[in-house]
Copies of this chain bind each other. A is one copy, B any other.
Amino acid sequence: MAQLKGACIIGQSGGPTSVINASAYGVIRTALDTPEITAVYGAAHGIKGVLNDQLYDMGQEDERELEFLLNTPSSELGSCRYKIADPEMDDTDYRRILEIFRKYDVRYFFYNGGNDSMDTCAKISRYMSKSGYDCRVIGVPKTIDNDLFGTDHCPGFPSAAKYIASSCAEVYKDARVYDIGAVTIMEIMGRNAGWLAGSAALAGVVGCAPDLIYLPEVDFDMDRFLADVEAVYRREGNCIVAVSEGIHYADGSFVSKAKISATDGFGHVQLGGLAAVLANVVKDRIGVKVRGIELSLLQRCGAHLASQTDIDESFQAGKAAVEAAVAGATDKMVGFSCTREGGQYHCQIQLFDLASVANYEKKVPREWINPEGNGVTQAFLDYALPLIQGENSRVVENGLPRFARLKKVLASQK
């Protein structure tokens, strides 16, 4: 493969995670150290930053501040939920992207996001190829939802899983404090895939597992749910339930109807309020003390509990993207191939064709969910437990997290 010299762009897209910036740092740090890459630009708000010619010159940043990205949650370059058109239908955006790529001599494009972002990545890759513009395009995955196809798991999921399992363990202790028990319902993110809600079961490792877990992979039945909760409560005097926000009835309608009128830029239904909905039903029908807890944004931005395994792997994913691109790869997504034989976890980088991952959703296998559909199996735990290992070594300043403080100098202003 011929050597390709030029600038690179790194963009971030979709919902943020605790470690998406660790991946961005992997790209930025490696790119800055790579002779073939002449300039490193961070796109402000993902692909929108390219379209709007808002590119930060990463070479202007202080090295130490860049390193803080390893422990800075959210998407430091800014994110977007902009759905790029199909180039066959409307190539306006693509022509603009090509114009910007030419303007800055961009030969490497790294896009750091989830399912929809891999689709964006694949489309740009195809368009550049069709246009005869020599540019290597690599997707760097992130999504707490863990629903990307191909890769063993997605950067971002392990840290969210660790946050969820830790919080579940703490809530377990809190919920058992009174002599009169309660039903506690924890609402966990996950629209179509139950990886995150299933992770609550990891708290069982320290004796604090939720009693019941409901994932969107199994159709929800309110009567069976109420019977499950009542049975546990009568037996144990307490009941902790973990639910995916996306649980739905057999007809596909969401159990949470609270916010189903709103949709995001990709036409996804915005969910939320499920814990409150279920808490009210339990209160009315079983008549016990009940509390609904929505883990909300904190499960995706709680970087103080980020898994060091996740941080390391996220950084490696970004680094590998640059190395692979410089070596000639394009139209790929960086992912992981992992083994867990004999309790020994080993993770290595693997490249996947963008076309094979974009727009597919990886769900929890039915056999990793118990037959009753109200919990996960040992296979699920064996899969997820290695991922949450390792306490991160974040810097604390005055008792609070020290995040990266970037200058964000626009390249267009030079």
A residues with CB within 8 A of B = 16, 44-45, 48, 72-76, 78-81, 162, 165-167, 169-171, 173-179, 184, 202-203, 205-208, 273, 276, 291, 293-294, 296-298, 300-305, 307, 385, 388-391, 396-403, 405
Contact = CB atoms under 8 A, between A and B. Distances in A.
A398 B206 contact: yes
B293 A73 contact: no
Contact of A300 (B174, B206, B296, B403): B174
Contacts of A166: 304, 400-401
27 contacts: A45-B178, A72-B173, A74-B177, A75-B177, A78-B179, A80-B178, A162-B400, A165-B399, A166-B400, A169-B400, A169-B401, A169-B403, A170-B301, A170-B304, A174-B297, A174-B300, A184-B297, A206-B401, A206-B402, A206-B403, A208-B403, A291-B296, A293-B294, A307-B399, A388-B400, A389-B398, A390-B399
Contacts of A297: 170-171, 174-175, 184, 291, 293
A278 to B, nearest CB: 14
Nearest to A44: B179
Contacts of A76: 173
Given A388-B400, A399-B385, A298 B167 contact: yes
A16 to B, nearest CB: 5
Contacts of A208: 403
A205 B80 contact: no
A71 to B, nearest CB: 11
A293 B294 CA distance: 8
A262 to B, nearest CB: 9
Nearest to A167: B298
Given A48-B179, A206-B400, 7 more contacts: A72-B173, A78-B176, A79-B178, A170-B297, A170-B304, A293-B296, A294-B294
Given A165-B400, A293-B297, A388-B400, A73 B170 contact: yes
Nearest to A74: B173
Closest 10 CB pairs of A and B: A74-B173, A174-B301, A388-B399, A45-B179, A170-B301, A389-B399, A79-B177, A74-B174, A293-B296, A206-B400
Contacts of A48: 179
Of the listed residues A179, A203, A304, the one surrounded by the most CB atoms of chain B closer than 10 A to its CB is A179
A118 to B, nearest CB: 19
Given A78-B179, A296-B293, A170 B398 contact: no
Contacts of A72: 173
| Residue among A16, A72, A173, A184 with max Cβ neighbours from chain B (10 Å) | A173
A173 B44 CA distance: 15
Nearest to A398: B205
B179 A80 contact: yes
B397 A206 contact: yes
Contact of A173 (B273, B390, B391, B403): B403
A305 B276 CA distance: 26
